[in-house]
């Protein structure tokens, strides 16, 4: 599995979540799942992880994300990077 991971600060989480759910960039057609995490100290700080079946699909979507301008009103704390799953262990 491959993932796009980014850390952002949004002006208002509820507004961000509503836009996220509307899926303006077509995430649901390209990805196989996602995870949103909110900072305990700052609930407007969000870590986004979107799962793809391959690095090529993740790269293609990241390019679409960049050209869409959908991140223009967000404070990017850690830009979208593509990572591949190395190990998953449940405890």
Domain containing 74 — which CATH number?
3.30.70.100
Whether 88 is covered by a domain: the verdict is: no
Whether 85 is covered by a domain: the verdict is: no
Cα 39 from Cα 28, distance rounded (Å) = 24
| Rounded mean pLDDT, 2-28 | 94
Q: How many domains does the chain have?
A: 1
Confidence at residue 45, expressed as pLDDT on a 0 to 100 scale: 97
Token representation of residue 42: 């700052």
Whether 26 is covered by a domain: the verdict is: yes
Confidence at residue 74, expressed as pLDDT on a 0 to 100 scale: 86
Whether 86 is covered by a domain: the verdict is: no
> Do 80 and 34 form a contact (C-beta atoms < 8 A)?
no
Token representation of residue 77: 């704390």
Confidence at residue 43, expressed as pLDDT on a 0 to 100 scale: 96
Whether 71 is covered by a domain: the verdict is: yes
Rg, the chain, Cα only: 13
Query: Domain of 55?
Result: 2-80
pTM to 2 decimal places = 0.89
Confidence at residue 5, expressed as pLDDT on a 0 to 100 scale: 96
Whether 50 is covered by a domain: the verdict is: yes
């Amino acid at each position: 599995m491959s993932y796009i991971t980014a850390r952002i600060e949004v002006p208002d989480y509820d507004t961000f979540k509503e836009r996220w759910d509307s899926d303006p960039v077509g995430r649901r057609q390209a990805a196989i799942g996602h995870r949103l995490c909110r900072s305990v100290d700052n609930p407007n700080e969000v870590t986004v992880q979107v799962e793809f079946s391959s690095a090529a699909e993740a790269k293609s979507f990241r390019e679409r994300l960049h050209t869409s301008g959908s991140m223009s009103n967000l404070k990017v704390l850690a830009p979208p990077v593509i990572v591949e799953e190395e190990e998953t262990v449940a405890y």
